[in-house]
């Protein structure tokens, strides 16, 4: 596929809350300004079915290009394939550990590794609670390597009323990391009567 749009790699790992990755793909599709390259782990396919109650094929159809998570020869496995970077939403602790230690046995971890080595933006929506010392050390390791750890912690300054509002707030924060303009949540401009 030839395009003049910038490319963003989206990974969905097997963590709870695949809704974040789905909402990210939906937002990017609606915006139409970025070409999406999707990698879905085997575990994510199962959580999409169980938690989002959606067909993984339907979710994959939201992306411009879908890469098999077992295909280490895919375009996104090479630094010569230009992208804005990569967002993994959600990012399981298994995927976090793989990225932290350079263990690239599938395309999701390989694409993340390539993103780091090329000094591109890697955003990991790390989804687990509570966090063990191992999790925290892995978060430190990826941060030191240049990644952004962006846990899906809800913000309430935008006045969310639904779960979708909370999800869109996190997706908006992810898009902010790549400089992608959006209107997914109301930005803080200072106290108003509503918040007084």
- Find all residues with CB under 8 Å of 137, minimum gap 6, and list them: 100
95 annotated ligand binder: yes
- In the 8-state DSSP scheme, what is residue 11? E
Beta strands (DSSP E) in 44-180 are 65-67, 85-91, 121-126, 148-149
139 annotated ligand binder: no
30 annotated ligand binder: no
Strand partners, 88: 11, 124
109 annotated ligand binder: no
SS3 181: coil
94 annotated ligand binder: yes
Strand partners, 65: 37
Name the token pair of 110: 């390989």
Rounded-to-10 torsion of CA 19, 20, 21, 24: 120
1 annotated ligand binder: no
Instruction: Give dist(CA 182, CA 172) in Å, integer.
Output: 7
78 annotated ligand binder: no
Helix axes 93-100, 133-144, angle to 10 degrees: 50
- In the 8-state DSSP scheme, what is residue 195? G
155 annotated ligand binder: no
Name the token pair of 185: 């949540």
196 annotated ligand binder: no
Binding residues for FMN: 14-16, 41, 92-95, 127
Binding residues for dimethylallyl phosphate: 157, 173
Binding residues: 14-16, 41, 92-95, 127, 157, 173
């Amino acid at each position: 596929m030839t395009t003049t749009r910038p490319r963003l790699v989206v990974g969905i790992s097997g963590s709870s809350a695949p809704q974040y990755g789905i909402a990210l793909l939906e937002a990017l599709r609606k915006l139409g300004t970025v070409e999406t390259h999707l990698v879905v782990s085997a575990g994510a396919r199962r959580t999409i079915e169980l938690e989002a109650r959606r067909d993984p094929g339907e979710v994959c159809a939201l992306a411009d290009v879908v890469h098999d998570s077992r295909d280490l020869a895919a375009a996104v496995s090479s630094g010569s394939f230009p992208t804005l970077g990569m967002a993994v939403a959600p990012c399981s602790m298994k995927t976090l550990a793989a990225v932290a230690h350079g263990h690239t046995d599938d395309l999701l971890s390989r694409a993340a590794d390539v993103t780091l080595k090329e000094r591109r933006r890697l955003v990991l929506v790390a989804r687990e609670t509570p966090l063990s010392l191992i999790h925290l050390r892995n978060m430190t390791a990826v941060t030191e390597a240049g990644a952004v750890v962006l846990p899906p912690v809800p913000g309430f300054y935008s006045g969310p009323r639904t779960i979708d509002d909370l999800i869109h707030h996190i997706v908006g924060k992810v898009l902010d990391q790549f400089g992608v303009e959006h209107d997914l949540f109301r930005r803080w401009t200072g106290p108003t009567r509503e918040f007084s």
